[in-house]
Amino acid sequence: MRRARPLALALAVGLAWVLLPVRAAADETGEIVSIDKKEFLAHRLERRGLDLLMEKEGRVYAVVSPGELAALFAARVRFTRVTERFFPYDQTGISADGGLNGAYHSTLELETDFRALARDHPQLARVVELGTSLEGRTIYALKISDNVSQDEGEPAVLVLGCHHAREWISVEVPFLFGRYLLENYAADAAVRNLVDRSEVWIVPLVNPDGLEYTIHVYRYWRKNRRLNADGTYGVDINRNYSYAWGYDNIGSSPEPASDVFRGTAPFSEPETDAVRRLALSRDFRAVISYHSFSQVILYPWGYVDAPAPADSELHAMAGTMAGLIAAVRGTVYGYGRAAQALYVTNGDTVDWAYATLGIPAFTIELPPVDVDHGGFFNDEAAIDAIFRENLPALLYLAGYAANSPAPPHARPRDRGARLRLPFRILPGGRIDNGR
């Protein structure tokens, strides 16, 4: 999900931006550049849909295509090429023995491991085909529950990963959570109680086409693989959900070449439609969507910097999750309203789930904290540690879903509405559920 932290209002006067044809099928590699923030604002680059990585020490970092690089030259934007600091060939954490993607899952590897889990735990796990991507790949879910083959109408939690193709670690945390529940069901009473009382739906790979492209062609690819009308590729599927879709051209872009292109209509993409159909078909009580990077827990709203209904409860829940994560090995995750704590987005998963389903919904941006610490390139050795530090927060939210009452009918535009969260957070993070 990572782009850049919010930028101040652009200067009124700047040189004209020259948009050259970008990202045709054979033109999808790029460079990383850094631009002085004043220069960035003077040229109004924050509105041009660049693939922003971070803002640090007065400079903005972005991945730019060859066409965008030429456009920067044409507009006389002063920038520094810093590709060698961050580009994949400088990463040493991917093993040759594991293939191009090392210990990380490809689409086929994820399907294979899902089916192995279902085979080894036939009473508890079932592989569900949610839909098909643009290039014909199946989008899979793993349903976990006692009596998994039956529809018992139990409360459910939805765990999503990899809306953005290059965020490989966001596949692994949901997958490992599913494996953990199944492997610990027999011996851990708390896990058994959770699985017996609820449904856990794991969808680690929402964007299979994009992931395969990052493995085989271009590691920094973000979007899906939609061939757009102008010859560019990709829709940002985390801008393609219907709530606040196209609210402005900062939180998403109408330009197909942009890395935050929202698509031609809400749910225009089969990947988002698959999530939508699943979300509306079950009694979900909480949603969590994994991304990288930044180490921050985000909650609505993302489309506007204003409090959502039940803002204080969402803040308390995010704080509890951050505390649970920090307790494992001291990793600090920030937390806050998405538009304020990271940047504005519109048409994203979490705003849609919160507004449409009326349930708590969170984005967790996984480690590292910034590009200098690895960005999208987590070392293989860090996969298990990142999962382990996130496990208590996942169990907390899944437990919330299992024990919460059904939400009232969502009233997205009613700022006075409040979600009926079933507990209060007391000082010290203790939970008062009235029992």
Kindly give the pairing relationship between strand 156-161 and strand 138-144.
Answer: unpaired
Q: State the Cα–Cα distance between residues 5 and 35, nearest whole angstrom.
A: 14
Backbone φ and ψ for 121, nearest 5 degrees, come out as: -135, 65
How many CB atoms neighbour CB 355 within 10 A? 22
Q: State the Cα–Cα distance between residues 7 and 10, nearest whole angstrom.
A: 8
Q: State the Cα–Cα distance between residues 63 and 221, nearest whole angstrom.
A: 10
3-state SS assignment for residue 188 = coil
Backbone φ and ψ for 22, nearest 5 degrees, come out as: -135, 155
3-state SS assignment for residue 144 = strand
Confirm whether 31 is a catalytic residue. no
How many CB atoms neighbour CB 288 within 10 A? 28
Do residues 175 and 113 lie in contact, with contact meaning Cβ atoms separated by under 8 Å? yes
Is the alpha carbon torsion for 40, 31, 47, 215 positive or negative? Answer: negative
Contacts (Cβ under 8 Å, ≥6 apart) of 188: none
3-state SS assignment for residue 153 = coil
How many CB atoms neighbour CB 120 within 10 A? 12
How many CB atoms neighbour CB 182 within 10 A? 20
Do residues 178 and 219 lie in contact, with contact meaning Cβ atoms separated by under 8 Å? no
Rounded to 10 degrees, the C-alpha dihedral 151/190/391/184 comes to: -80
One-letter amino acid of 153: G
Residue 29's nearest CA partner among 306, 270, 251, 217 is: 217
Residue 184's nearest CA partner among 391, 397, 379 is: 391
Alpha-helical segments (H) within 256-300: 270-281
User: Which listed residue (68, 111, 167, 365) is catalytic?
Assistant: 365
Query: Which residues are identified as catalytic?
Result: 365
